Amino acid sequence: MKVLFILLTVTFFSFASEVYSQVNNISFRLKHVNLMEIFDQIEKQSHMHIAYDVSSINVGRRINISVESVSVEDALKKALENTNLSYRIIDPYIIISKNRNKVKTCISMQSNKIAIEKNKSVGGKVIDTNGNLLPGVAIAIEGTNRGVITDVNGTYSIDATPTDKLIFSFVGMERKVINVGNQKVINVQLKEKSEGLEDVSVVAYSTQRKVSVVGSIATVKPTDLNTGGVSSLSNLLAGRVAGLIGVQRSGEPGNDVSEFWIRGISTFGANSNALILIDGVDRGASSLNELSPEDIESFSVLKDATATAVYGARGANGVILINTKRGSEERMSINANVKTMIETLPRLPQYLGGIDYAKLANEARIVRGNTSVYSPEIFDIIKYHLDPDLYPDVNWQHEILKEQTTGAQANINISGGGKQARYYMSGFYRTNDAIYKQTGMERYHSNVRRNQYSFRSNVDVDATRSTLVSLLLSAKLVDQNRPGMGTTDQIWSAQANLTPLTVPVVYSNGQLPAYGKGENAS
């Protein structure tokens, strides 16, 4: 029975082989192709199936071949010339083997039919979101160590089975996985990775990963700077960046900004402050304090010589890099916010009252060998306020300064755009009032008040695939008023230096006192 079965099988395959292999209509003319492309042509014209081990096929070898009305066997002989490959026909299959070794094929029985899974050539091109071709993209077959990279034209070709998955990866781009299936051409578009400041650091005019940066660079999240109740960005930096020293010398609106140094003062001369660049332009320390926190996209502080070397002598005291927000390819977005604040003077000196001042004044004169100024009778007059014109007992700090004042700021911004153009526009308003009191007798606002109006417009246009045109505009208007006579420093000094017994606020007859020297004394 076994012998009979073998004879019947050989007879069947021999007959089938004669039927398929005697097809004499195979014709094609191909240039610079590999064997797999030739096998595809033979399959289409002979209606046979070719199985082979992909590891035995030299994909890089490309030949020119031309046949005209030949049999399947003649076409195979022509294709396999000068190779170490041979073929075997078991109709309707053609098995390609190396030195007649058994080919590793995947054969399964389904509905009494034989199905052979074979490798095929898959190719295409890889581009970015702007349509630019990407050379050097790695394409690998998932679960294997086989892969290729795209050439200088961004194209690739790889052998894969329909069940394989191709993995596309490139530095700075998001990885993409695609099922091969029946596709022969797979074009892929890779998107850029969105990296935050925790992953990259700004270095001069470029970015580097933090692990590769030797110099000392600190970053501050924009959300940490966008806090209400602070009138300037420089006041926010102190305590948020290691090695940064900030000193606020005044609380007057417009002058209430901090002077700061990065790791101390490195140079002595005309300029010992840090270099501040907003969108790559040196705008000075004043522009930092007039910038709206809502407009900041990234904020970095370069501290040491390694990080600031590209700026030369101007970067000797450290560099602060600020990038403002830009538009993105999305529909228009409108954001607005309003903040109010209450400002107080948390630490003020405590001054003595009239009676205590008189006692200490007498002691000071007696110690120096002089007679006392105030007699016991005058002490009673001061204590019981019997003569407010001559011995007024005034708390000048209470008379000149308020306990608190208010401020407000508002911001509105619009952003959006398309593939060709993107925009970001914002408007900013801030108002601050000083803490001095007004008597109500003035016909105008005599306190120190500062109103700031700012506008910013960032527009980016892709003129060509390789040319980006950007227009960055910013403008500000400051409206500020101050007391008509003297300066705020003089007012502050006056309330600190006037004794409680010098002059009254107003004489009992309604006359205002004069203090100081000259006709402009007030």
How does pLDDT run across 126-175, given as a tens digit for each residue?
999 888 888 889 999 988 878 888 988 889 999 888 888 999 998 878 89
| The pair of three-digit structure tokens given for residue 433, joined into one six-digit string | 């009032």
| Partners of 108 in the β-ladder | 115
pLDDT in tens, 346-355: 888 889 999 9
Task: Find, among 204, 419, 435, 232, the residue nearest to 310 by Cα.
Answer: 204
- Cite the DSSP H helix spans in 319-466: 354-367, 376-383, 396-400
Q: Find where tokens 């795209």 sit.
A: 150
Q: Is 284 left (phi over 0), alpha (psi -120 to 50) or beta?
A: left
Q: Could you tell me if 330 and 419 are in contact, meaning their C-beta atoms sit under 8 angstroms apart?
A: no
Q: Could you tell me if 260 and 161 are in contact, meaning their C-beta atoms sit under 8 angstroms apart?
A: no
Is 101 exposed, middle or buried, given 0-12, 13-18 or 19+ CB atoms closer than 10 A?
exposed
Q: Which of the pair, 165 or 260, is modelled with greater confidence?
A: 165
How far is the C-alpha of 301 from the C-alpha of 307, rounded, in Å?
9
Q: Could you tell me if 41 and 27 are in contact, meaning their C-beta atoms sit under 8 angstroms apart?
A: no
Mean pLDDT, rounded, for 285-306? 81
Residue 254, classed as helix, strand or coil, is coil
Portion of the chain with pLDDT greater than 90, in percent: 24
Segment holding 402, helix H or strand E = none
Residue 304, classed as helix, strand or coil, is coil
CA dihedral 383, 386, 392, 393 (to 10 degrees): 10
Q: Find where tokens 């590769």 sit.
A: 212
How far is the C-alpha of 72 from the C-alpha of 46, rounded, in Å?
7
Q: What residue type is 26 in one-letter code?
A: I
| The pair of three-digit structure tokens given for residue 324, joined into one six-digit string | 């403002």
pLDDT in tens, 429-462: 999 888 888 776 667 777 888 899 999 999 999 9
User: So what's the pLDDT on residue 113?
Assistant: 36
- Least trusted range by pLDDT, from 2-6, 74-78, 269-273, 504-508: 2-6
How far is the C-alpha of 92 from the C-alpha of 21, rounded, in Å?
9
Is 392 exposed, middle or buried, given 0-12, 13-18 or 19+ CB atoms closer than 10 A?
buried
Q: Is the dihedral of CA 491, 492, 494, 499 positive or negative?
A: positive
User: So what's the pLDDT on residue 99?
Assistant: 59
- Cite the DSSP H helix spans in 402-516: 488-497
How far is the C-alpha of 300 from the C-alpha of 215, rounded, in Å?
13
Residues 6+ apart with CB under 8 A from 397: 348, 349, 351, 495, 496
pLDDT in tens, 101-122: 444 443 333 333 334 455 678 9
| The pair of three-digit structure tokens given for residue 412, joined into one six-digit string | 């509105």
The model's pTM is 0.54
Residue 134, classed as helix, strand or coil, is coil
Q: Model confidence at 489, in pLDDT bands (50, 70, 90)?
A: confident
User: So what's the pLDDT on residue 202?
Assistant: 53
> Is the pLDDT at 215 greater than 60, yes or no?
no
How far is the C-alpha of 289 from the C-alpha of 232, rounded, in Å?
5
- Least trusted range by pLDDT, from 76-80, 234-238, 403-407: 234-238
| The pair of three-digit structure tokens given for residue 351, joined into one six-digit string | 């001054």
User: So what's the pLDDT on residue 512?
Assistant: 82
> Is the pLDDT at 479 greater than 70, yes or no?
yes
Mean pLDDT, rounded, for 282-305? 81
> Is the pLDDT at 57 greater than 80, yes or no?
no
Mean pLDDT, rounded, for 88-113? 56
User: So what's the pLDDT on residue 237?
Assistant: 76
User: So what's the pLDDT on residue 72?
Assistant: 86
User: So what's the pLDDT on residue 94?
Assistant: 82
Q: Which of the pair, 32 or 110, is modelled with greater confidence?
A: 32
Q: What residue type is 425 in one-letter code?
A: M
User: So what's the pLDDT on residue 495?
Assistant: 82
Mean pLDDT, rounded, for 388-417? 91
User: So what's the pLDDT on residue 247?
Assistant: 79
How far is the C-alpha of 137 from the C-alpha of 128, rounded, in Å?
11
> Is the pLDDT at 295 greater than 80, yes or no?
yes
Q: Model confidence at 341, in pLDDT bands (50, 70, 90)?
A: confident
How far is the C-alpha of 182 from the C-alpha of 163, rounded, in Å?
9
Task: Kindly list the strands in the beta sheet with 147-149, ordered across the sheet, starting from the edge strand earlier in the chain.
Answer: 147-149, 138-141, 165-169, 176-179
Q: What residue type is 47 in one-letter code?
A: H
Q: Model confidence at 227, in pLDDT bands (50, 70, 90)?
A: low
User: So what's the pLDDT on residue 442?
Assistant: 66
Q: Which of the pair, 486 or 344, is modelled with greater confidence?
A: 344
Residues 6+ apart with CB under 8 A from 194: none
Computed over its alpha carbons, how large is the radius of gyration of the chain? 43
Residues 6+ apart with CB under 8 A from 149: 135, 136, 137, 138, 139, 156
How far is the C-alpha of 227 from the C-alpha of 137, rounded, in Å?
43
How far is the C-alpha of 486 from the C-alpha of 448, rounded, in Å?
12
Q: Model confidence at 252, in pLDDT bands (50, 70, 90)?
A: confident
Which range among 97-111, 263-277, 367-381 has the greatest average pLDDT?
367-381
Q: Could you tell me if 368 and 441 are in contact, meaning their C-beta atoms sit under 8 angstroms apart?
A: no
> Is the pLDDT at 2 greater than 50, yes or no?
no
Is 1 exposed, middle or buried, given 0-12, 13-18 or 19+ CB atoms closer than 10 A?
exposed
- Least trusted range by pLDDT, from 44-53, 337-346, 400-409: 44-53
User: So what's the pLDDT on residue 271?
Assistant: 64
| The pair of three-digit structure tokens given for residue 417, joined into one six-digit string | 């755009």
Contacts 24+ apart (CB under 8 A), 193-201: 197/221, 197/298, 197/300, 201/300
> Is the pLDDT at 184 greater than 60, yes or no?
yes
Average pLDDT, the chain: 79
Residues in the chain: 522
Q: Give the β-pairing of 244-248 and 281-282.
A: unpaired
- Cite the DSSP H helix spans in 226-350: 233-237, 284-289, 305-308
